Structure 1
Amino acid sequence: PSHAPKWVYDRQQLWNEVEKVERQWNAQLAREMNVALPKELSHEEQEQLAIEFCNDVFVMDGMVADLAIHRDDEENPHFH
């Protein structure tokens, strides 16, 4: 969200802070999703689509989204 502190953009610090807050030994700290991106879109359009999706589905509900786009296979662009 727009009010998030700058340190959340550092993945290492973000996940260290998440682990500090959670006290249950069996807590689920994260979930992973693998979402396909249309290969017909430009890289910029793919990135914008992924960001909008994460904002709409996760961030608007108060969750953190740690997004990684993979294009190692141009026929299968996707994000986690």
Structure 2
Amino acid sequence: MENTDSSVLNVSKFLVRIDPCTVSLVLTHTITDTVKFEVSTNIQAQNILSPSAKVTYDAQNYVLLNPGFKADQGSSFAAYVDGCGNK
């Protein structure tokens, strides 16, 4: 994936980090697996985490859970505000 100011990402498998660290992400897809997203500014999420999902969002400035974001029962979700390479 090309590193741009803003990226829309469609994945359902493992992702540790986009290198170099992307600037921001808008997530709108259902996640079913173990995934960690790290960005240098912000993450905006309006997606669904299935019961099998183990998801981490890590952004330097903020993580915004918009209407439409849902972590189904059984999923694991964590959000951090510290950015690329810190956790």
The interval holding the TM-score normalised by the smaller chain is under 0.3
TM-score by length of structure 1 reads 0.24
TM-score by length of structure 2 reads 0.23
With a CA cutoff of 8 Å and minimum separation of 6, indicate the structure with the bigger relative contact order.
1
Larger helix fraction of residues = 1
